[in-house]
Structure 1
Amino acid sequence: MLLVDAANAESDRLSKISSNGGTKKLDSIIEIGRKMYHDLSERGVGIAGISVGGKSKNDQEARVYSQRVFHNAAGLLKNFHIVVFIDEAQNTPVKDSTKGVLDCLHDPPDKIPLLAIFFGLSDTESRLTECGISRPADERVVSLEVLTREDASEAVRGVFKAYNFTGSREDIETWVEHLAKLSQGWPQHVSRVSVAASRVISNNGKQIGEELLKQALEEARRRKESYYAMILRRCSGQPWVYKKLALMAREKNGILSLDEILHIAEFSRTRQGKPVDDFLTDALHAGVLIETREPPNRYRIPIPSLGDYLRSLPEDLPAGI
């Protein structure tokens, strides 16, 4: 019902700013949306880990029904250019009901001008392949790497400008240089070091000065370590396992094979003493590892300082490992 209420509110808002012709088209789209939602609620369909409505009698029925929904909507949607954004796509369940929806998003029926964009972690492509999406168009799979030093610096400057911080050009650029370097271009770190610096500056009259830089960098490093501690808490295994992973990565020039990871995984146990189920996926989704595209089927720790953090963990490795 929350979805219906939101649709009604948006319909009212858009109706006020649309022409009469546009309003009629909008009303038609909203009405078909309500019908689709009602049908989905009755039968049920799921995508990307989210289920809507009841449970279909079987997965095949849900798959056929999801395709029928797109066919029924084709007449109304054919004159609109639609972009669908799907986040956390690495969690897409491998089910027939999901495959039906993804088939329609990947190859829209009745020439619906629809483009689907999937966002997810480094194993997203392999998960979508399991769901039936194969042979993506050339150069349509993009791995988002770290920001360049220039881009990270510009992001930090943008934060300083947004808060109207003042200071000499030389002092500002010194701060920007140190913070961008500390972030290592990782977007999460760019945000955290910028917040750390901003709080120090705000607490000292919003004036950027050389004497405060050391304090800001210490706070930024603390925030980076708190982020790494959060990643470690997401992991199912004991901390020493990830320390071993980082030590081996250093020995292998940063790149690990699946066999090397699975060898370590043999010794991994949960906090309850049970073997970790699917250690690799667990490490990927926690953010400890990412899959490389070149060479394929290899893995690395995404942030250099995360590797340093894991190697510095106080846990001792068990004898013989």
Structure 2
Amino acid sequence: MKGRWLLFVGILFFSFVFAVDAKIIEQWQKTMQYGISSQRIGVIKAIKDSKAVEGYDLIMKALASDDNPNVRGEAAYALVELKLSNQEPWIQALQKETNSEVLRRIAFGCSELKVKAAAPLLFSHMTNRLEDTKESLLVATILRALGELEYKPAEATVLGILSNYQYTKEVRGAAAVAIGSIGGSKSVALLKTLINDPAEVKEVRMYGAYALGKTKAPEAFDILTPIIDNEKEDVNVRVWGLAGLAFLSGPQVGEKVIQYTRSDNILLRTEAIKTLAKIKETRAIEILKYKALYDPEVSVRKEAKNALQTLGFDLNQLTNTTQTNTQTNTATTNR
């Protein structure tokens, strides 16, 4: 009986995901038109969770024109999760939006979905709020988005923000990340100075280390490795420097990252494993297999398995290896 019920539920879900009933769509439309905000948010979540293509237009319309900021914010996150990068609703939303939290979500969405046409509008929103410390979170989010969208016209402004100590650490840290993408080799000297300045705030130094890698400048490796290797350095700066190596090329990069899979520090070890996956370092397969099976930290074992999957390794083979080792250990114990 239980098996039949599960089969029925599975068929019902399958049918709902791939062919939404016309009556349900009609109800969604009416709710978005006449319902209260919590009901409209419920519709957005239902469309998102079921990936009902027939309702995507309702979410896009809500982002651009719903009169409730909570609904617009929910729509923004739903579009990100559904990976709907249609530029028109994002542009329309940016042209009209005034709520800071919704703008932050829109900026995040434009960054995640690479809505390049949104960059000039985002830049305008940022410069209008730059001097308001209450808007630091929004400004920081937009700065990161401008970096991801590689909006070159913002370069001079971003460099100015990064060099100006009057701005908050969140804003300057975000400017550091952004300049790594849009400043290129021009920003290397400034980033190097900031990273090596012991009086500089930690957030700017750690994001600066990451940004230095993002410049892809050949000299970035020689600047970052002494910082990563310095055991007296703040571990967060070292971790972000290690993450920055993922953007560089050359055999020495993989060798350095592999070295840190043996670090006693969990943060460094975990970041090294993530970076190996990002740089597609196949020389690390055996190391990652070992980490996936025997590392003392559950989180590290999980990350190693994720890395192996990214590198195309079949985790079923890893399971077989575990079973073989277990059987061998049992047999040895019984002797």
Q: Tell me the TM-score normalised to structure 1 length.
A: 0.28
Structure 2 length-normalised TM: 0.27
Higher strand share: 1
Larger RCO (CA within 8 A; separation ≥ 6): 1
